[in-house]
């Protein structure tokens, strides 16, 4: 540790804030993890359904509390995201280290390699051949776009995001003809995905619709599929990747009840089987659970990178409260993915094919 890092971490320790590698944080995270371990065991023993909870995923707003979500999360200072995301893709979703807990633990992949492995897995499961026109809901900093445009010279992709921080970053990259995002095969929409937006798009414009790490912000899955249908070609497909739990976790379905809502206003964690039920217009062609230790490792890597960049963040970018806020975010998220060896809380993949 260099002098500046040591001085900064000491000032933060004096304020009761500890980073990865400290005994204090390890103890805090292990207690949090034990709490969620007990919660998941209880829910496995006595599952509750969405019907029991009076929750429907066929009504309500298509995306939840987008403006509050941008303010509290996605429009946070760009230096924050730059401090921890991988440098190549800037992916803000789970990286993929392996299928089983032992593979994930034993993996020697870097964050960048594991993010690439995630895109390889998604591409294979979605059945991309390379000449598709794709619509990506919630494109973040263009991670999926970067991967696909680098690998498939005939593919075109449109990304949508309501985040001004993400849009500013993407627009800058689009100026560079050497950047995959500046290739002319990337189109950016600054806005929210909803019916109004879809009404401005041409029917039959896309072969595939994707989302990666975005449907946590939706509560009306029927409407997601109804809107997707409007822009897809005949026999088009959609592929979605997002955080799920094997059984419903009641407190994670009400963002006013937990800290999830503090970091992600309107955010919810849906049971693995829920989206798969929405087959009004589509056939379900594939449905997978991805072990949650993948996200635990991703978050742990992000947490270390954030903490290694603390001297540049603390003072110039963030005050003490903001450092505590985001430091706690990484710990909290790690603690929800770690229990049950990642078998209860992870990510799901859904591949839908439009019925003709």
Ligand X SMILES: C[S@@+](CC[C@H](N)C(=O)[O-])C[C@H]1O[C@@H](n2cnc3c(N)ncnc32)[C@H](O)[C@@H]1O
Contact residues: ligand X, CB under 6 A = 63, 66, 69, 74, 91-93, 137-140, 143, 160-163, 166, 192-193, 212-214, 217
Give the residue among 192, 194, 266 at the shortest CA–CA distance from 223: 194
Residue 202 is classified by DSSP as P
> Residue 97: CB partners within 8 Å, gap ≥ 6?
103, 104, 107, 109, 114, 117, 293, 294, 297
As measured in angstroms, the least distance from the Cβ of 212 to ligand X is 4
Nearer residue to ligand X within complex by CB, 282 or 295: 295
Contact 156, 133 (CB under 8 A): yes
Nearer residue to ligand X within complex by CB, 138 or 292: 138
Nearer residue to ligand X within complex by CB, 32 or 139: 139
As measured in angstroms, the least distance from the Cβ of 139 to ligand X is 6
Nearer residue to ligand X within complex by CB, 127 or 191: 191
Query: b/e string for 84-111 if b means 16 or more Cβ within 10 A?
Result: bbbebbbbbbbbbbbeebeebeebebeb
As measured in angstroms, the least distance from the Cβ of 131 to ligand X is 22
Give the span between the Cα atoms of 100 and 105, in whole angstroms.
9
Q: Left if phi > 0, otherwise alpha if psi is -120 to 50, otherwise beta: which for 336?
A: alpha
Q: Left if phi > 0, otherwise alpha if psi is -120 to 50, otherwise beta: which for 176?
A: beta
As measured in angstroms, the least distance from the Cβ of 339 to ligand X is 22
As measured in angstroms, the least distance from the Cβ of 9 to ligand X is 28
Partners of 245 in beta bridges: 271, 345
Q: Which residue has the tokens 């593919």?
A: 155
As measured in angstroms, the least distance from the Cβ of 14 to ligand X is 33
- Helices 111-126 and 143-151, packing angle to 10 deg: 70
Q: Which residue has the tokens 């969405």?
A: 50
Nearer residue to ligand X within complex by CB, 66 or 331: 66
As measured in angstroms, the least distance from the Cβ of 242 to ligand X is 9
Nearer residue to ligand X within complex by CB, 18 or 337: 337
Helical (H) or strand (E) element with 271: strand 270-271
Nearer residue to ligand X within complex by CB, 116 or 340: 116
């Amino acid at each position: 540790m260099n002098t500046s890092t040591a001085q900064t971490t000491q000032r933060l320790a004096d304020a009761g804030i500890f980073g990865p590698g400290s005994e204090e944080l390890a103890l805090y995270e292990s207690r949090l993890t034990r709490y969620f371990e007990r919660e998941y065991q209880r829910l496995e023993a006595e599952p509750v359904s969405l019907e029991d909870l009076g929750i429907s995923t066929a009504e309500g707003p298509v995306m939840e509390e987008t403006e509050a979500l941008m303010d509290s999360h996605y429009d946070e200072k760009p230096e924050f995201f730059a401090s921890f995301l991988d440098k190549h893709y800037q992916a803000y979703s789970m990286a993929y280290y392996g299928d089983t807990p032992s593979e994930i633990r034993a993996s020697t992949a870097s964050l960048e390699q594991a993010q690439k492995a995630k895109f390889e897995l998604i591409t294979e499961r979605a059945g991309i051949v390379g000449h598709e026109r794709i619509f990506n809901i919630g494109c973040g900093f263009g991670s999926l776009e970067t991967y696909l445009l680098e690998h498939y010279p005939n593919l075109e992709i449109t990304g949508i995001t309501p985040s001004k921080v993400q849009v500013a970053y993407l627009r800058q990259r689009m100026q560079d003809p050497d950047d995959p995002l500046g290739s002319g095969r990337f189109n950016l929409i600054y806005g929210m995905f909803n019916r109004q937006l879809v009404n401005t798009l041409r029917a039959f414009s896309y072969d595939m619709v994707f989302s990666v790490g975005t449907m946590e912000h939706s509560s009306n899955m029927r409407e997601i599929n109804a809107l997707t249908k409007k822009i897809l070609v005949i026999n088009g497909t959609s592929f979605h990747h997002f955080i799920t739990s094997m059984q419903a976790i009641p407190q994670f379905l009400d963002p006013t009840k937990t800290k999830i809502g503090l970091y992600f206003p309107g955010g919810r964690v849906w049971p693995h089987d829920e989206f798969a039920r929405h087959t009004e217009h589509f056939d379900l062609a594939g449905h997978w659970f991805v072990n949650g230790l993948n996200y635990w490792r991703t978050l742990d890597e992000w947490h270390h990178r954030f903490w290694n960049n603390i001297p540049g963040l603390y003072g110039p970018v963030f005050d003490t409260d903001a450092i505590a806020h985001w430091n706690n975010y990484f710990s909290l998220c790690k603690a929800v993915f770690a229990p049950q060896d990642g078998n209860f809380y992870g990510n799901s993949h859904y591949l839908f094919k439009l019925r003709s």
